[in-house]
């Protein structure tokens, strides 16, 4: 298993000779993120998402002001599973998120977003997180939010304090796309909404992403138990 950081930082390993810029190496190792105001895009969308790409808008980040449409937003189906009686869902403030180990297959990168329950109480996760690439100090969204992988089975995942769950994200490096159609731009990382939440977390991972609407759109799978399923 390889870190997504290595996969994005060295796209030539995945697509030698392809066009498109190479991601900038991350200055720091991606770690658990928080909903601190300094995180770009860690803001509340104007409305909850009910589709695969989101429709809300994000406010300003601490590094500047600007608008950005929300990622694949809060999961409208969250909480409709069979959570343990009396156990609340996990809220954004209960969670930290980081990148897990990733791998590639047939030109596609698969990397888990690992959620950790940092609270002192048990809570549950169910459904899809909302994820998007963001750029700049204001956390401006780049391209559409990650599309939901409809073949991914949704299940209620209980998290004890310190417990972990994950949602795998999947996509291809910008080098696999025609640069004129992809229009690659630098990004700072990911904005992540836990299921059914309207406050976001931020995962830093500098690199490049396609800015052309829908080109090179990544996918996100439903929350699953543990740190990884691969």
pLDDT in tens, 139-193: 999 999 999 998 889 999 999 999 999 999 999 999 999 999 999 999 999 999 9
Q: Are 191 and 199 in contact (CB under 8 A)?
A: no
pLDDT at 64: 33
Q: Which residues contact 165 (CB under 8 A, 6 or more apart)?
A: 114, 115, 125, 157, 159, 223, 224, 225, 226
Task: Give the whole-angstrom CA distance, residue 187 versus residue 206.
Answer: 6
Q: What is the pLDDT of residue 58?
A: 35
pLDDT value at residue 1: 39
Query: What string of pLDDT tens digits covers the 230 residues of the chain?
Result: 344 333 343 333 333 333 333 333 333 334 444 444 344 544 444 333 333 333 333 333 333 333 333 344 444 433 344 555 689 999 999 999 999 987 666 678 899 999 999 999 999 999 999 999 999 989 999 999 999 998 889 999 999 999 999 999 999 999 999 999 999 999 999 999 999 999 999 999 999 999 999 999 999 999 999 987 55
The per-residue pLDDT for 108 is 86
Tell me the pTM. 0.68
Would you state the pLDDT for residue 104? 61
CB 155 within 8 A of CB 221: no
Query: Which residue, 82, 75, 104, is CA-closest to 194?
Result: 75
Say how many residues make up the chain. Answer: 230
135 touches 188 (CB < 8 A): yes
The pLDDT of residue 78 is 36
Cβ atoms of 156 and 196 closer than 8 Å: no
């Amino acid at each position: 298993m390889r870190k997504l950081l290595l996969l994005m930082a060295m796209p030539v390993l995945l697509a030698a000779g392809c066009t498109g810029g190479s991601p900038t190496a991350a200055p720091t190792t991606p770690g658990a993120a928080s909903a601190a105001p300094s995180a770009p895009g860690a803001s509340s969308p104007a409305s909850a998402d009910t589709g695969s790409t989101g429709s809300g808008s994000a406010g300003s980040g601490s590094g500047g002001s600007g608008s950005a449409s929300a990622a694949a937003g809060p999961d409208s189906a969250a909480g409709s599973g069979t959570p343990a009686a009396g156990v609340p869902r996990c809220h954004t403030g209960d969670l930290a998120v980081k990148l897990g180990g990733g791998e590639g297959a047939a030109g596609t990168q698969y990397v888990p977003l690992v959620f950790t329950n940092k609270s002192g109480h048990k809570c549950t996760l169910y459904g899809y997180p909302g994820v998007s690439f963001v750029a700049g100090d204001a956390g401006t969204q780049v391209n559409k939010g990650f599309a939901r992988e409809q073949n991914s089975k949704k299940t209620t995942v209980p998290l004890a304090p310190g417990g972990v769950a994950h949602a795998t994200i999947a996509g291809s490096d910008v080098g696999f796309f025609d640069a004129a159609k992809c229009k690659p731009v630098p990004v700072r990382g990911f904005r992540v909404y836990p299921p059914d939440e309207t406050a976001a977390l931020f995962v830093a991972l500098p690199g490049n992403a396609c800015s052309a609407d829908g080109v090179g759109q990544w996918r996100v799978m439903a929350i699953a138990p543990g740190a990884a399923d691969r």
